[in-house]
Structure 1
Amino acid sequence: MTDTPSKYLLNVDYGVGGVTTHFRSRPLGDDLHSETMVLNLGPAHPATHGTVRIVVELSGETILDADVEVGYLHRGFEKMCETVDYNQVMPYADRLNYVSPIINNVGWCLTVESLLGIE
């Protein structure tokens, strides 16, 4: 056996260096009684439709700062569409937005009709 620990993700010794976060580190003790609070909302939260992550800094009920990450979920839509014909993209466009899927279908159809010169 070797003396160096193996670098597996589930290993306790696996480091997380190089990961960027949006949180500012604050020393404990003096800051415990301040009125500002950092709230991590998402990426999957009942108040959001789909996946979006919002890191909010609050002072009481007032929002001081917000960092919004949209498009948190990457589905590979463009790559899937590269392998099929234009008329086979409809089911993929349907699944991009579960709240109003018809909007994506209309947008796709209007784009294809415009490119093909169909009125």
Structure 2
Amino acid sequence: MTTNLADRLGKKDPLYEGVKTVTRRLWTDTKFKSICNQYDAGIRRHAAWSAQPFVPNAKHIGWVNLTQLPYREKLEDMPEEDVFFEGNLWRSKDEFIKFVDIHPDNLVTVIRFDFVPLVKSIRNVA
């Protein structure tokens, strides 16, 4: 069974197509402050994984380069145009909020980024 939403909708993967350039996360204060401190220190590149790194079979798929300091906003305050930048898989902000199953009043961390896919060597290793 396919679990990737883009696959289920018959669309190309928006991350690899350069459409998905923002994500929203329910981060703890500690995680939020840590990433913001790294950003302020010039550390803007972070590993991108197919799932959380601790999830079995998660794979390193590339890098995300943060394009601005992460910030927090209520999910209901998300700009309508971010439906596109979240992957363009939903028809509206309300549909997106229903899909992510996070209460609209919840404060989420907004991460804007450029994705750089992991490049595999073209050499065949025997």
TM-score norm. by structure 2 comes to 0.18
Tell me: higher relative CO, structure 1 or 2? Use CA pairs within 8 A at least 6 residues apart.
2
The structure with the largest alpha-carbon Rg is: 1
TM-score norm. by structure 1 comes to 0.18
Q: Which has the higher strand share?
A: 2
